[in-house]
């Protein structure tokens, strides 16, 4: 018989603060479901310790790790290679070990596109993105790589909005327009996908209203929210009432985890198990 092995394969997330990040629950549920003796550790890493943490992960043979605030940009200098999307975004949220090399990937936007593909093909679509932060950037780059035709970036601060607009122009072949968000926004007719990529509506500010004329949402549109908690945001409820096809932020979060799991283990996890694990956390 095979000698028994007490060695576990290690994955992790590095962040600060990190204690409230629920990814461990979702990924470890998927490891258990797949019968893998793998662990996912939630590790507090200060910015000044990031280089040592990455070297330590490499030395200890971690199979991969996620990065969250404030490490997504700074980690890049410590990696050996980047995926095309991570390179364009200038941000990494997932590292995969390949032999002796550490490869930087970004799964935030890929998780979104994977959710969207369940209801609609991004190819040739007109996309309105509310917000211009990290989530908006990841989604825009991935949607452009998936063939979206045109982006309208709607953002409160002109500086961030114009930065994302310039990035799309420089790094993708898609058309792009910037709208400075000063009052209730009307979704233009001909829009295929509307995405809330702001933090408006995140727990505990669940009643916060997105400055949007919900009368301009029509049943032929896909409306997506990045807010995972609560899944049924005010926007999700209003878009559902308007007859739109609706995607919640929990689906995006699960799919982002599915992609990371697949990259690390090479096997397909069970997304239903992952969603249930997160729903239990979010109550
Ligand atoms: P950032 O801080 O980088 O960006 C926040 C964005 O929200 C900015 O565009 C900001 O505008 C806008 N914003 C915030 N408050 C308001 C307001 N009151 N009115 C108008 N605009 C506002 O955050 P991230 O992009 O990293 O994250 C955004 C959200 O996405 C978070 O809530 C996070 O939970 C969620 N997320 C979900 C994921 C998922 O898998 N479901 C993955 C990643 C993130 P301005 O530039 O004017 O400040």
Domain locations in the chain?
9-106+252-282, 109-247
What does the pLDDT read at residue 4? 85
Tokens read off for 126 = 């007109």
pLDDT score, position 154: 98
Q: Which of 22, 106, 138, 198 to mutate to test the pocket of ligand 1 (most atoms within 8 A of CB)?
A: 198
Which residue CA neighbors atom 20 of ligand 1 most closely? 156
Structural contact between residues 133 and 72, judged by C-beta atoms closer than 8 angstroms: no
Q: Which of 18, 103, 40, 4 is nearest to 269 (CA)?
A: 40
191 lines ligand 1 (CB under 6 A): no
187-210 pLDDT tens trace: 999 999 999 999 999 989 999 999
Evaluate if residue 167 carries a pLDDT over 80. Answer: yes
CATH architecture of the domain 109-247 equals 3-Layer(aba) Sandwich (3.40)
> How far apart, in whole angstroms, are the C-alpha atoms of residue 127 and residue 152?
6
222 CB-near residues (< 8 Å, 6+ apart): 116, 119, 120, 192, 193, 194, 244, 245, 246, 247
Quickly state the pLDDT bin for 259 (edges 50, 70, 90). Answer: very high
If 0-12 CB within 10 Å is exposed, 13-18 middle and 19+ buried, where does residue 213 land?
A: exposed
* CATH number listed for the domain at residues 9-106+252-282: 3.40.50.10860
What is the DSSP code string of 142-161?
HHHHTT--EEEEEESSHHHH
Q: Is 157 in the pocket of ligand 1 (CB under 6 A)?
A: yes
Mean pLDDT of the chain: 96
Q: What residue's CA is closest to ligand 1, atom 7?
A: 198
Task: Give residue 9's pLDDT.
Answer: 97
pLDDT, residue 78, reads 98
Query: Which residue is closest in CA terms to ligand 1's atom 2?
Result: 133
Mean pLDDT, residues 161-180 taken together: 96
Q: Are 50 and 65 in contact (CB under 8 A)?
A: no
- The yes-or-no verdict on residue 1 having pLDDT over 80 is no
User: CA–CA separation, 125 vs 150, rounded Å?
Assistant: 7
Q: What are phi and psi of 121, to 5 degrees?
A: -90, 125
CB distance 68 to 151 below 8 Å:
no
Report whether residue 249 contacts ligand 1, using a CB cutoff of 6 Å.
yes
pLDDT, average across residues 148-172: 97
Q: Give the Cα separation of 96 and 211 in Å (integer).
A: 39
User: Which percentage of the chain shows pLDDT scores above 70?
Assistant: 100
3-state DSSP call for residue 105?
strand
Return the residue whose CA atom lies nearest to atom 6 of ligand 1: 198
* pLDDT-based confidence at residue 5 (cuts at 50, 70, 90): confident
pLDDT at 101: 97
- Residue to mutate (ligand 1; options 116, 156, 230; most atoms within 8 A of CB): 156
Q: What is the pLDDT of residue 3?
A: 81
| pLDDT for the residue 283 | 81
pLDDT > 90: what percent of the chain?
A: 95
Instruction: List all residues 6 or more positions away from 182 whose beta carbon is below 8 Å from its beta carbon.
Output: none
Q: Among the listed ranges 2-11, 36-45, 67-76, 263-272, which one has the minimum average pLDDT value?
A: 2-11
The packing angle between helices 134-145 and 158-171, to 10°, is: 20
- CA-nearest of 254, 245, 239, 161 to 201 is 239
Strand stretches in the chain, DSSP E? 9-15, 38-44, 64-67, 81-82, 94-98, 101-105, 126-130, 150-155, 175-180, 193-196, 222-225, 245-247
User: 9-106+252-282 and 109-247: same fold?
Assistant: yes
**β-bridge mates for residue 30, sequence order:** none
ipTM of the complex: 0.98
Query: According to the model, what pLDDT value does residue 104 have?
Result: 98
The yes-or-no verdict on residue 2 having pLDDT over 80 is no
72 is known as an active-site residue: yes
Q: Residue 271 burial by CB count (10 A; 0-12/13-18/19+): exposed, middle or buried?
A: middle
CA distance 123 to 39: 37
User: Is pLDDT of 242 > 90?
Assistant: yes
- The β-bridge partners of 166 are none
Average pLDDT rounded to a whole number, residues 93-121: 96
Spatial contact of 13 and 42, defined as CB atoms under 8 Å apart: yes
């Amino acid at each position: 018989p095979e000698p028994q092995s007490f060695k576990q394969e290690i994955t992790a997330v590095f962040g600060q603060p990190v204690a409230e990040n629920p990814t461990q629950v979702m990924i470890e549920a998927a490891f258990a479901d797949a019968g893998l003796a793998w662990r996912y550790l939630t590790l507090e890493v200060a910015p000044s310790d990031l280089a040592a943490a990455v070297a330590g992960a490499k030395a200890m043979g971690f199979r991969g790790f996620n990065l969250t605030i404030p490490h997504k940009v700074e980690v890049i200098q410590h990696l050996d290679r980047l995926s095309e999307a991570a390179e364009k975004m200038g941000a990494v949220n997932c590292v995969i070990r390949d032999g002796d090399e550490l490869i930087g990937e970004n799964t935030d936007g890929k998780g979104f596109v994977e959710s969207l593909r369940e209801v609609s093909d991004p190819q040739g679509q007109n996309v309105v993105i509310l917000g211009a932060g990290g989530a908006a950037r990841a989604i825009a780059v991935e949607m452009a790589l998936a063939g979206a035709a045109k982006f309208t970036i709607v953002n409160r601060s002109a500086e961030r909005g114009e930065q994302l607009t310039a990035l799309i122009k420089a790094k993708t072949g898609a058309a792009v327009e910037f709208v400075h968000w000063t009052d209730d926004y009307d979704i233009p007719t001909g829009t295929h996908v509307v995405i809330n990529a702001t933090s408006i509506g995140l727990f505990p500010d669940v009643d916060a209203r997105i400055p949007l004329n919900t009368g301009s949402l029509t049943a032929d549109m896909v409306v997506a929210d990045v807010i995972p908690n609560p899944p049924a945001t005010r926007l999700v409820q209003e878009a559902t009432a308007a007859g739109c096809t609706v995607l919640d932020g929990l689906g995006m979060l699960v799919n982002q985890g599915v992609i990371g799991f697949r990259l690390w283990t090479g096997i397909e996890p069970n997304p239903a198990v992952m969603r249930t694990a997160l729903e239990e956390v979010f109550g």
